[in-house]
Chains A and B, each alone.
Chain A
Amino acid sequence: MTDLDIEPTDTVDARGAACPGPLMDLIGRVRSASPGDVILLLSDNDQSLTDVSEWVDETENELLEVDETDDDYRFYVEVA
């Protein structure tokens, strides 16, 4: 649970995936999501920190929060 207490609509667990797998898994899920859905992406790949935020900036989707735990990064993306 994040400081923002965000409740994701769907979770994409891309831990263990090599780049650009996590971002592509997220994009795949966004394709089939509805506006307002919040997708939680789990990734343990450092490159995702750059890839995800850069991609979200190119779209109208919003990166609500990025949490870092001992094991992974957690990206909360709201679908436009």
Chain B
Amino acid sequence: MTERIAILGGGTGGTVLANGLADRLAAEIDAGDVEVTLVNDDPDHVYKPVWLYVPFGQRELADGRRPLRELVDSRIDLVIDRVTEIDTEGKRLELRDTPDALDYDYLVVATGSTLAPDEVPGLAEGGHDYYSESGALALRDDLLSMTEGHLVVSVVGTPHMCPAAPLEFAFMADDWFRERGLREDVEITYTYPIGRVHGNPHIGEWAEPIMEERDIDVETFFNADSVDPDAKTVASMEGTEINYDVLVGVPPHRGVDVVADADLGDRGWVDVDKRTLEAERAEDVYAIGDAATTGVPKAGSVAHYQAGVVGERLASEVRDRPATATYDGKTLCFIETGMDAASFVEFDYENAPSPAPPSEKLHWSKLAYNESYWLTARGLL
């Protein structure tokens, strides 16, 4: 009897998991005892952290794309198609372009995040983001032509991908305009929904003095309620209104519709046991990365580590052994503090982050990792 593992989503989590299973279960796959199928609706794997650099003209979108087929082990069945229905009772996935449904014994949901700017009136028209390819390009056009005025970096919705990225963007913009001799003519304001500049209090306490030192204005308790693209204003639920010339808005995020329709959790996220990563509302279903509501950041490092845990658990399960691997909340994150300096944090469920002093060495470490990421995707690093 062949055990069939289906992985839904070919981002960091899904791809690392697929390659990890190809390695762990090579003998079983070669013997026909296990089949691993990776389903993704894009033939490319997309590495989103590249987008942070696109608005500053430092990277191109193509730097963040590579064909999945080149990254995924040949032992994995790669299906480029869109899943239209997840039937967790019948253990089957309906596909848009493939007549036959895909039956599974174990399913891993790794469907990531999508953007929902429409939840805030005017945001899609009035703001740009670096959380999508189109947003990063539009923002690049506006930023490259900006020589004066008010740049507003507004975190509109949380949770969002890479929680440190709004801080990074504000720090990088400050440095970028400073290096070009324009900073005195460009005012920068950073807004955040709660009473500090970052959701994690330790990172917030670290970042706030840097913002003050760099003359980045901070507006906390600012939950953007609407954007007026004509008047170029953004208004908050708390009754504040800010004028902008360029608005960098981090839009609300959601999971994908097909996960929402399967009722695995709220807003397309999957409710999971935060240590075993097993779905709480269905049998033999795991979720990893952004899709899983573990409470840790929606970040590539998290997806990477969770993929290792689920890979180990699935290998145990198909071998009829108890699955003992658990996820401890491990998160790693480089935080750019300018165009040539960065900090670094590492934390988990039990240990709080303590940001390292910013240095040029950490900045180059981040850029070096971004290059070597493709080894991570292949399951080698």
Which A residues contact B (CB, under 8 angstroms)? 16-21, 23-24, 27, 30-31, 47, 50-51, 54-55, 58-60
Interface centre among B157, B159, B195, by most chain A C-beta atoms within 10 angstroms, is B195
- Interchain CB contact under 8 A, B199 and A19: yes
- Interchain CB contact under 8 A, B194 and A20: yes
Q: Is the interface of B mostly helix, strand, loop or mixed?
A: loop
**For window 167-202 of chain B, which residues contact chain A by CB distance below 8 Å?**
193-195, 199-201
Which B residues contact A (CB, under 8 angstroms)? 157-159, 193-195, 199-201, 221, 223, 225, 237-239, 274, 293, 295-296
Q: Is the interface of A mostly helix, strand, loop or mixed?
A: helix
- Interchain CB contact under 8 A, A20 and B237: no
**Chain A residue at smallest Cβ distance from B192:** A20
- Interchain CB contact under 8 A, B295 and A18: yes
> With A and B bound together, what is the CA distance between A17 and B296 in angstroms?
9
- Quick one: which of B157, B238, B296 contacts A59, CB cutoff 8 A? B238
Assess A54 versus B221: contact at CB under 8 Å? Given A16-B295, A18-B296. yes
With a cutoff of 8 Å between Cβ atoms, the chain B residues found around residue A30 in the complex are: 237
- Interchain CB contact under 8 A, A51 and B238: no
Assess A24 versus B193: contact at CB under 8 Å? Given A19-B199, A58-B238. yes
> With A and B bound together, what is the CA distance between A37 and B157 in angstroms?
22
- Interchain CB contact under 8 A, A58 and B200: no
> With A and B bound together, what is the CA distance between A19 and B13 in angstroms?
23
> With A and B bound together, what is the CA distance between A58 and B157 in angstroms?
18
- Quick one: which of B195, B225, B295 contacts A17, CB cutoff 8 A? B295
> With A and B bound together, what is the CA distance between A56 and B200 in angstroms?
19
23 sample A-B contacts, Cβ–Cβ < 8 Å, listed by A number? A16-B274, A18-B199, A18-B295, A19-B199, A19-B201, A20-B158, A20-B193, A20-B194, A21-B158, A21-B295, A23-B193, A23-B194, A24-B157, A24-B194, A30-B237, A31-B237, A47-B201, A54-B194, A55-B195, A55-B221, A59-B237, A59-B238, A59-B239
**Chain B residue at smallest Cβ distance from A52:** B194
- Interchain CB contact under 8 A, B159 and A27: no
With a cutoff of 8 Å between Cβ atoms, the chain B residues found around residue A27 in the complex are: 193, 223, 237
With a cutoff of 8 Å between Cβ atoms, the chain A residues found around residue B158 in the complex are: 20-21, 24
Give chain A nearest CB distance to B257 CB in angstroms: 18
> With A and B bound together, what is the CA distance between A54 and B293 in angstroms?
25
- Interchain CB contact under 8 A, A55 and B194: yes
> With A and B bound together, what is the CA distance between A54 and B220 in angstroms?
11
With a cutoff of 8 Å between Cβ atoms, the chain A residues found around residue B223 in the complex are: 27, 31
> With A and B bound together, what is the CA distance between A21 and B295 in angstroms?
8
> With A and B bound together, what is the CA distance between A19 and B159 in angstroms?
10
**Chain B residue at smallest Cβ distance from A17:** B295
Beyond known contacts A27-B223, A50-B195: 10 more, CB 8 A cutoff = A16-B274, A17-B295, A18-B296, A21-B158, A24-B158, A27-B237, A47-B201, A51-B194, A51-B195, A55-B194
- Interchain CB contact under 8 A, B274 and A20: no
> With A and B bound together, what is the CA distance between A24 and B78 in angstroms?
37
- Interchain CB contact under 8 A, A21 and B159: yes
- Interchain CB contact under 8 A, B159 and A24: yes
- Interchain CB contact under 8 A, A19 and B221: no
> With A and B bound together, what is the CA distance between A54 and B201 in angstroms?
14
**Chain B residue at smallest Cβ distance from A45:** B295
**Chain B residue at smallest Cβ distance from A61:** B237
With a cutoff of 8 Å between Cβ atoms, the chain B residues found around residue A54 in the complex are: 194-195, 221
Please name the 9 residue pairs, one residue from A and one from B, whose CB atoms are nearest each other, closest first: A18-B295, A58-B221, A20-B199, A54-B195, A20-B194, A24-B158, A58-B238, A17-B295, A59-B238
